[in-house]
Amino acid sequence: MAEHDLRIGNTASYGPPAQTLDRVYYLENTIDFSVNKMAAADTAIIFNLPAYHCVLHAMCQLTTSEGTTATIEIGTPGDPDGIINEVNLMTVGITSSAHHADEDVIGAVSSTATTIIIDPGHALCTGAIKVGVLIADMTPLSTKLA
């Protein structure tokens, strides 16, 4: 199983987002699987999620179909489907977090940093997606939560 690092800038450091709304951030990453091929057992890191930050909402837009039956899940290493349970890579369109019971990363605040990952259910070699997440910085509350 390989782990692909597809974060913007391919860096492990958390940089300031392109769009800031006080303490709410929108991060976006476009991933072309014809360039970044993945096996079914691989994972891809697409964003950093710092400590005391929470995902408020997420969306995945399929811009190029994979061409065969293929799905992905978006989550964290500890909960691979915790943000978007299943994205169908056959039909071009948008899938967003629906706040199902298994999407329990949405709204959760942790005192430890993690990453947001793609967990493919199939080998990926032709599709392209754009993933966007709305993140809230809850750091000012960290002293009150400790």
Number of compact structural domains in the chain? 1
In a domain, 13, yes or no: no
111 token code pair: 């005192």
The answer to the question of residue 116 being in a domain is yes
Cβ–Cβ under 8 Å, residues 25 and 135: yes
Instruction: Supply φ then ψ for residue 129, to 5 degrees.
Output: -135, 160
* Residue-level pLDDT at 18: 46
Q: Which domain holds residue 110?
A: 28-138
Residue 64 counted as domain residue = yes
* Structural domain contains residue 46: yes
Q: In 6-143, at which residue ranges do the beta strands (DSSP E only) sit? A: 19-21, 24-32, 43-49, 53-64, 71-76, 79-88, 93-96, 114-120, 128-137
Evaluate if residue 61 carries a pLDDT over 60.
yes
pLDDT in tens, 72-122: 999 999 999 999 988 999 988 888 877 666 778 888 888 899 999 999 989
Report the largest interatomic distance among the alpha carbons of the chain, rounded to a whole angstrom.
Answer: 49
Q: What CATH number is attached to the domain comprising 124?
A: 2.60.120
The pLDDT value recorded for residue 145 is: 59
Q: Is residue 7 a part of any domain in this protein?
A: no
Predicted pLDDT at 124: 96
What is the chain's Cα-based Rg? 15
| The pLDDT value given to residue 48 | 92
The whole-model pTM stands at 0.82
**d(Cα 134, Cα 43) in Å, to the nearest integer?**
21
